[in-house]
Amino acid sequence: MFKHLFMLKRTCYSYLFLLFILMSCAKKDEVIPTDTLLRKIGTLHQSIDFPVSETAFQALKSQEKWIPHPSAEVPDSVYANHTFFIGAYYKEKGQTDSAAIYFQHALDAVGERIVRDREIDYFQLAWDNYFDQNRIGDCITISERFKAVLNEQEDFGAMALYYFFKENECKANRDYQEALFNNEQRIKMLALVQDTVHLGAALISQAQSKYRLKDKAGAFAILDQLITQEAQLSDNVKRQLYGNYGVYLYYKGDFKKALACYLKGLVFTKKTSAADSKNSRLATAYSNIAEVYLDLKKYDQASIYIDSALQQGFKNIDSRLQENILIYQFRLAAATNQDVKSVIKYINSISDYQKQEYKTKYSKDLDAVKQTNEKAMRLLEEKRMAEINNLTLRSRILFLLAMLTLLIALVVTGTLFYLRRKYSFEKQNLQMHQRLLRSQMNPHFTFNILYTIQNMIKENQSAAIKYLLKFSRLLRLILENSAYNYVALEKELDSLTKYLDLQLLRFPEKFTYEIKLKGLEKDDFIFIPPMLLQPFIENAIEHGFAGINYLGKISLSLTLAAENLVCIIEDNGVGITLATQEKARISSTQLISNFLIKTTKHQVEIQHKKDLDPNDHGTLIKFVIPFKNSEDD
């Protein structure tokens, strides 16, 4: 079907091009901009500073029609500057799609070689705009085009920027070895131009890659060397230096030294500029300090820094930082022995926040589909009105117009049908994720765990803190995993393991479990849809082991196949009953089954083990899970 749609679209474009040529024959040329007008535009460009003001933007838009491209009268540099400033305004306002269009116009006007420093800005802001949207493929296109217009033997400063692009693209794809290589090349270029301003940030980035590659000693050595040169570093680099050092010390378990670094980093964060990013940086610094105070059991100080983080504007900071702050509130409430209702209030706030994130995410996707449809209809209507108004061409294009209208109608009908199906599937997918999230954050399970931990506090405080941390980490994993369509297999298995350990806290010596991987390792680059395994495990615990007088056992097996993972979940419980069959039919497991049928064309197979062997009992569940080799496949 889509092959035919493509052929229809190509035919339409051919007719549209012919129609444009015919209409151009009768249309009078626009007035060519005068030298005076070009000087006026040049003066406007020289007066603009960053960020681009609303007044400057309106002036740019008012002159936009006078600088068509390509044009013999308007230099490429004038056109590129004009579109670049408009793109910079849109980027500052968060209108990334519009910014991308204007940045691309500016890049199109760049020749075979960079001739002005401003042209480097075109590439940098265009790359930043795509990177902020996590559009790594578009970032790679920009960086490779950037390299093509550079003289690698002379433009060392620009080559340092190119290697910065490549380093961060590799980090986004988790290829830290390649990121480290590009970082080393970047540092060489900075040394050639004696750029000490950016060298410190490059070394900190190198430490990050080394840390990711398990070379922790190398990472600490770099940061220690930078600390000895602290007087030569800018406040922004010092902020990064002590912030990163604090994170590494924290995961090393040296909380007191981590706290000292965080506090130093906070001092330099307050000295940096850029109001919007400064608020986010301050919120990060405050939340890191709060986390250390929680681990040091200094709850009054933790409360102060949590409040300070919230004062930076909760809605204006990164979504993952928002999650961290909510979890710190929850940990503080539980650690200060507040009653269960107070603790559940924070859990509800986390759940409400995640639901809002879902609505925002999918509303944007659905709005984009709707806007695309409206734009297509609007363009179609504009073309139709232009054809009707151009009566002088009526005799020459009447036949062409009839054919064109028919073809466009076919294309629009096919496109609308596709968009309607896409909208329906996304809506069902959203509903499934929301119900699976609610099943994983089941209030009954949550209340029982918290009640068990609260009772344990009186008898074994250290064990209670251990399980409370495990429970908070489970919540964090659930929230992180539920925000993505595909997550790393390692993170999904970690979430499942923590869930089983907490169930064992509720039902000690009730059951055992094992997880077997065949043909793969836990840390392989395999990404699967989140929240598919836990509902089946929960059914085995809640229904399969209900009323048994022997030790239950759950076995989860994942086998790597050609295109999917084969999952087998087996238990030795009471098996399938009419009641459990009816509950499964209306439960989250049915939603999973529907999802897997659409994505893999395979059903979930559920068998009573007694049907296979009269001497056996329990349930055997088998299904296949789609996987990808990266989050962006």
Work out the pLDDT band at 298, boundaries 50, 70, 90: very high
Q: Is 260 exposed, middle or buried (0-12, 13-18, 19+ CB in 10 A)?
A: middle
d(CA 554, CA 513): 5
C-alpha torsion 39→42→46→52, nearest 10: 130
Question: In 557-582, which positions are buried (b, 16+ CB within 10 angstroms) versus exposed (e)?
Answer: ebeeeeebbbbbbbbbbbbbeeebee
**Nearest of 313, 326, 320, 322 to residue 275 by alpha carbon:** 313
Span 509-626 CATH architecture: 2-Layer Sandwich (3.30)
Work out the pLDDT band at 336, boundaries 50, 70, 90: confident
Write down the pLDDT at residue 18: 32
Cis peptide before 51, with omega less than 30 degrees from 0? yes
- What average pLDDT does the structure give for the chain? 79
pLDDT > 60? residue 275 = no
d(CA 204, CA 190): 14
Q: Is 254 exposed, middle or buried (0-12, 13-18, 19+ CB in 10 A)?
A: middle
- Locate the domains of the chain by residue range: 509-626
Give me the mean pLDDT over the 339-363 stretch. Answer: 58
d(CA 507, CA 493): 21
Give me the mean pLDDT over the 51-74 stretch. Answer: 79
| Residue 419 identity | L
Instruction: Name every residue whose Cβ is closer than 8 Å to that of residue 15 and which is 6 or more positions away in sequence.
Output: 400, 403, 404, 407
Strands 511-518 and 552-560 turn out to be: parallel
Helix (H) or strand (E) holding 31, with range, is none
pLDDT > 60? residue 6 = no
Name the percent of the chain in helix, strand, coil, to the closest 5: 75, 5, 20
Q: Is 526 exposed, middle or buried (0-12, 13-18, 19+ CB in 10 A)?
A: buried
Write down the pLDDT at residue 577: 65
* pTM score above 0.85: no
Work out the pLDDT band at 432, boundaries 50, 70, 90: low
pLDDT digits (tens, 9 = 90+) for 484-537: 778 889 988 998 998 898 888 888 888 999 999 999 998 888 898 887 888 888
pLDDT digits (tens, 9 = 90+) for 158-196: 999 999 999 999 998 989 999 999 999 999 999 998 888
pLDDT > 80? residue 543 = yes
Is the separation of the CB atoms in 243 and 205 below 8 Å? no
Give me the mean pLDDT over the 212-228 stretch. Answer: 91
Write down the pLDDT at residue 11: 39
Q: Three-state secondary structure along 190-216?
A: HHHCCCHHHHHHHHHHHHHHHHHCCCH
* Portion of the chain with pLDDT greater than 90, in percent: 24
First to last CA, the chain: 24
Token look-up 């069902």 returns 428
- Identify the top-confidence range among 433-442, 465-474, 526-535: 526-535
